């Protein structure tokens, strides 16, 4: 029987367990410049016992930024900052992938070059969503402007350059963020993509730009060092599609053709349900792993609302190959050891998730 603590062959990497650190936005890069620094290196190195780490989402350009304090991978200073992080993780015998990100409409003009409007497939705002201005003030989402066709190639190039920078920074691989209502997901789903040109309408058209991005990244890294994150049925950032099963089956067919390393798929969940301090799966939502796992030929990583018990169950039943943990990895830097020894977990502190310094970031206790 497969165990959560069993090793897993991840392309040419053999990882020590199936406990993955999920990408977690923490808004603690050095300012000005959105540069990773020593504090971030300490944080990731503390968690190097994960099977592998997927970094917080990292903007591929200034236009791609949506929140203050999030790191980039498009300047020399950012590349050098990430080198501090990868060196620190590798010294602890860890593995780390960079998540490549463009937020699209989930931004504010204060983050944009020259104060421009955020960009999107269509000029449709994300209802009931919000972000922060560059000076950390909560703000409603603006109505974005629709990308011109000639701008799409430029964003593909931004992803390609970011992938090259990630290689220079010493990462073991990259993950293309096609989930959570950010730009590539906005193109995939017909609730946000109302284009009438070659990048809108049919599934084949809507997937065209995300696949151009993926192909550009694969050209830099090769397919066996590239993963993709997807969120079928995710409602975050006002996302919806008229036929998610057809859409994401088609997406997985295309990923199979490219023989990418893994797909990282998010289970729908109700965050902080009922005002409690727990994140639980939405029982009325379909299971994405049950719906889509058999469709994908590579490594299948699942994330979203897992506790240790049900993570062990889905791995032992071979429903998934590995599970990505978020919040409990924040508060338990030695999570694999705690699972191995069946030790109590530290509770996380929501009020320290975003922004700040060491508190709630690098000060969670390890086992004695």
Catalytic residue IDs: 182
Tokens of 210: 């995300």
- Torsion sign across C-alpha atoms 239, 240, 245, 250: negative
d(CA 154, CA 300): 31
Omega before 32 within 30 of 0, i.e. cis: yes
Tokens of 76: 């020399």
Query: In sequence order, what E strands does 107-199 have?
Result: 119-120, 130-132, 138-140, 145-146, 173-177
Tokens of 175: 């993950």
- Neighbour-count burial for 153-181, b at 16+ CB within 10 Å, e otherwise: eebbebbbbbbbbbbebbbbbbbbbbbbb
Do 197 and 208 form a contact (C-beta atoms < 8 A)? no
Helix, strand, or coil (residue 339): helix
The candidate with the shortest Cα–Cα distance to 292, out of 242, 255, 326, is 255
Classify residue 85 by burial, with Cβ atoms within 10 Å: 0-12, 13-18, 19+.
Answer: buried
d(CA 19, CA 7): 10
């Amino acid at each position: 029987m497969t165990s959560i603590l069993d090793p897993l062959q991840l392309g040419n990497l053999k990882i020590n367990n199936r406990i993955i650190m999920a990408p977690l936005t923490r808004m603690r890069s050095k300012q000005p410049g959105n540069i990773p620094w020593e504090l971030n290196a300490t944080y990731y190195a503390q968690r190097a016992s994960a099977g592998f780490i997927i970094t917080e989402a990292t903007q591929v350009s200034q236009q791609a930024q949506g929140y203050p304090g999030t790191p980039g991978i498009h300047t020399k200073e950012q590349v050098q900052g990430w080198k501090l992080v990868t060196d620190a993780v590798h010294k602890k015998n860890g593995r780390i992938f960079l998540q490549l990100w463009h937020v699209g409409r989930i931004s504010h003009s204060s983050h944009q070059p020259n104060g421009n409007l955020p960009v999107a497939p269509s000029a449709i705002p994300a209802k009931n969503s919000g972000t922060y201005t560059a000076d950390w003030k909560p703000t409603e989402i603006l109505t974005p402007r629709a990308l011109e066709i000639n701008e799409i190639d430029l964003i593909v190039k931004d992803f390609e350059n970011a992938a090259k920078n990630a290689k220079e920074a010493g990462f073991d691989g990259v993950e293309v963020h096609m989930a959570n209502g950010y730009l590539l997901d906005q193109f995939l789903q017909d609730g946000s993509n109302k284009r009438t040109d070659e990048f809108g309408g049919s599934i084949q058209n809507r997937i065209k730009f995300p696949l151009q991005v993926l192909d550009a990244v694969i050209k830099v890294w090769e397919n066996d060092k590239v993963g993709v994150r997807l969120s079928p049925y995710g409602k975050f950032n006002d996302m919806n599609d008229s036929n998610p099963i057809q859409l994401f089956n088609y997406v997985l067919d295309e990923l199979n053709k490219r023989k990418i390393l893994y797909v990282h798929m998010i289970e729908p969940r109700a965050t902080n349900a009922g005002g409690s301090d727990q994140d639980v799966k939405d029982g009325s939502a379909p299971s994405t792993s049950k719906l889509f796992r058999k469709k994908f030929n590579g490594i299948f990583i699942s994330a979203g609302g897992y506790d240790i018990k049900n993570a062990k169950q889905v791995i032992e039943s071979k429903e998934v190959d590995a599970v990505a943990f978020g919040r409990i990895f924040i508060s338990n830097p030695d999570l694999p050891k705690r699972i191995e020894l069946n030790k109590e977990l530290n509770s996380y502190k929501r009020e320290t998730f975003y922004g700040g310094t060491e508190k709630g970031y690098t000060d969670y206790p390890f086992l004695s």
